[in-house]
Amino acid sequence: MDFTSHDIAVIEQALQIAQRSSDGSKARHFQEVLAKLRMNAEAAMSAGASPAASMDGFRYDYDDSSDLS
């Protein structure tokens, strides 16, 4: 399932609100999920940048070179 940056922001906000309005044990669970979400979101954002940089818009078709003989 793919989340947009807006989706992640809404989920983070919901977890923060739930964490503030809950008792200690529940708040700890919300904090753990929030930390995982932030880590995964940062990893997805940094990983998403590198494949786009490798796609320069050019398509190289090397199969045609054998027809030159």
Dist CA 7 CA 13 (whole Å): 10
Contact between 12 and 37 under an 8 Å Cβ cutoff? The reply is yes
Question: What's residue 48's pLDDT?
Answer: 57
Is 13 or 64 the better-scoring residue by pLDDT? 13
Query: Which tokens belong to 9?
Result: 């922001």
Question: What's residue 28's pLDDT?
Answer: 87
Which residue, 31, 38, 39, 36, is CA-closest to 15?
A: 31
* pLDDT tens digits along 7-59: 888 888 998 888 888 888 888 888 888 888 888 877 766 765 555 555 566 66
User: Which H or E run contains 50?
Assistant: helix 24-54
